[in-house]
Amino acid sequence: MNQRTKYWNVDKIVDGLEDYPQVHEAAAIVRNNGLIAFPTETVYGLGGNGLVDETVEKIYTAKGRPSDNPLILHIADRVQLNELVAEIPLMAEALMEAFWPGPLTIVFPKKPGVAMRASAGLDTVAIRMPDHPLALALIRAAQLPIAAPSANLSGRPSPTTAQHVLEDLDGRIDGVLDGGPTGIGVESTVVDITGDVPMILRPGGVTAEQIVEITGEVAIDPGILGEEAAPKSPGMKYRHYAPKGEMWLVRGENPAQMTQRVRELARAAADEGKKVGILATEESVHSYDGGYTVVPCGERSDLISVARRLYDVLRQFDQAGVDVIFAETFPESGVGAAIMNRLAKAAGNRYL
């Protein structure tokens, strides 16, 4: 695929965004089965008509995405939801009331008419209502549900700016709506409500602790880190979010011990002639010397700041051309579960 990718810069606070000329033009492309990248509150998505198999196939092709990896349908209102799902359990009603619009994707039993390619042939469909004015305006203007994985080449770090999208997909898609940097920085949480107990298939912007407050219980799918079963959600299978350099996650009994271990590993790799990158925090960034590429990824005391910067930091290591990356690790509670899930995928589950 080799085409000119249009670029529109849109102020997300403009009133009547769906009537804004740039949004209207992008929506027309979506209705005509083209592909448009757009911002959400999590990451930039690569959107197309979620009701047409041929359009969904274009998304897989543009990303180089495996065909058994399902997509999320993005909607702007409950009318669209009712057209897509076979039933809405009370549990789903409670979750939507609490978290929609927002970074929560819910897996429902689907109605006929949803593109088989969007659900990877499953009898379920993953749906969310994004909490971003430009995303909602595009969906409303297009007047159809938009299938949208992250707008990056498959396996690469997800995009949190329009420039990240163009780095990967310029010439491969029809256009990109630039609404500025995204806010949360990691993808939505995906929860399956088709069983008796809600099950998290991918940790993300809504934490397990928040879901338990609504549902009383929640399970974590063991397939989050496995590769055996057909995935019911994006992010469950395959290496994702990966920088080009070899990446290792470094554990420690406490931050000080972890920092010392990272220093030792970095020194040994540098002695072997490798260009070393270190994913650090604001608290530890000044602990590393020796000519390494050290990039702070937010504050350990504020994991939301780490989530927001994570993918941009991974791309900075690519720009620096490092050979190996040693990454500090984080507690796996709250948003830390999503951070560590993405780091583990990026590193191919390599720990030290």
Enumerate the known binding-site residues for ATP.
65, 69, 124, 150, 158, 202, 241
Cα-based angle 6, 18, 114 (whole degrees, multiple of 5): 80
Q: How far apart are CA 340 and CA 186, in angstroms?
A: 11
Q: How far apart are CA 311 and CA 291, in angstroms?
A: 23
User: Would you state the structure tokens that stand for residue 74, as one six-digit string?
Assistant: 């993005």
Q: How many CB atoms lie within 10 A of CB 285?
A: 14
Q: How far apart are CA 242 and CA 67, in angstroms?
A: 19
Distance of CA 289 to the CA centre of its chain: 32
Cα-based angle 77, 81, 87 (whole degrees, multiple of 5): 145
Write out the H or E segment, with its range, that includes residue 139. helix 133-142
Q: Are 188 and 129 in contact (CB under 8 A)?
A: no
In residues, how long is the chain? 352
Biggest distance spanned by C-alpha atoms of the chain: 61
Binding residues: 42, 65, 69, 74, 124, 128, 148, 150, 158, 188, 202, 241
Say if residue 282 is exposed, middle or buried (CB neighbours under 10 Å; 0-12, 13-18, 19+).
Answer: middle
The residues, ordered by sequence, that sit 6+ positions from 319 with a Cβ below 8 Å of its Cβ are none
Q: Are 155 and 140 in contact (CB under 8 A)?
A: no
Binding residues for L-threonine: 42, 74, 128, 148, 188
User: Would you state the structure tokens that stand for residue 19, as one six-digit string?
Assistant: 């009537």
Write out the H or E segment, with its range, that includes residue 280. strand 276-280
